[in-house]
Structure 1
Amino acid sequence: MPRKTVWTDGQDAQIRRLRTEGASWEVVALALGLARLAVIERAREIGAERLPANAVAFLDESGREPLPAGHGDSWGAINRGTSLENVPFQTPGDIR
């Protein structure tokens, strides 16, 4: 029998944020490291089961070239919400 998940305010906020950004249930579950159905059930409990009207539409960029290391778009997305947020990317030659 699976263990009961003890939900935190941070997980609830992450569910709401990711859904507002247009993330699929698979992406939300992967970000939380939990089963898709568990995340969907929790979203129902907190009232975040549907994408809000202001949700970002998914942009298919599968054909574009990869961004270089440290590009502002990718670096910012990777570090958003972490202690490295707003810290500029440094290449090994830049480290002092």
Structure 2
Amino acid sequence: MPKARVWTAAADEAIRDMRAGGATWAEIGRTLGLSRNTVIERGRRLCAVAPVKVVAVAAGDVVSDDPNRGPLRAGHPLSWGLLTSEPYPQGGCR
């Protein structure tokens, strides 16, 4: 059985800082010399979250309020933003 990893305060701080700066889990893992999954698990325990992405709708992109309008295109900022605007709920993190 593999030995448990001993986490240092410096590694924890690096995870928090890099994630708050918008770094992906893979980038953090490469920096620390760890696997992406190892960093994800530790990041979740530390409640390290990425900044919320702001989605802007283009000025010429008019969306009708008509309930019978056609569907929005795939990946449209308005509909996709509804799905991605809030961070995924973290268990126990606030």
TM score, norm. by length of structure 2:
0.51
Q: Distance in 1 between matches of 2:3 and 2:24?
A: 24
Name which one, 1 or 2, has greater alpha-carbon Rg.
2
Moved over 4 A (4+): none
What 5-or-longer segments of structure 2 have no aligned partner? Answer: 54-94
Q: Distance in 2 between matches of 1:41 and 1:52?
A: 18
How big is each residue's C-alpha offset from its partner over 1:29-70, in whole Å with a ceiling of 9 and x where there is no partner? 00010011010000011111x3134x8xxxxxxxxxxxxxxx
Q: Distance in 2 between matches of 1:20 and 1:36?
A: 16
What 5-or-longer segments of structure 1 have no aligned partner? Answer: 56-96
Aligned to 2:41: 41
- Secondary structure of the residue aligned to 2:23 is coil
TM-align CA RMSD: 1.6
Q: Distance in 2 between matches of 1:4 and 1:38?
A: 12
- Secondary structure of the residue aligned to 1:34 is coil
Alignment of 1:1-96 (within 5 A): 1-48=1-48, 50-53=49-52
Q: Distance in 2 between matches of 1:38 and 1:28?
A: 10
Q: Distance in 1 between matches of 2:35 and 2:3?
A: 12
How many residue pairs were aligned?
A: 53
Percent identity over the alignment?
Answer: 43
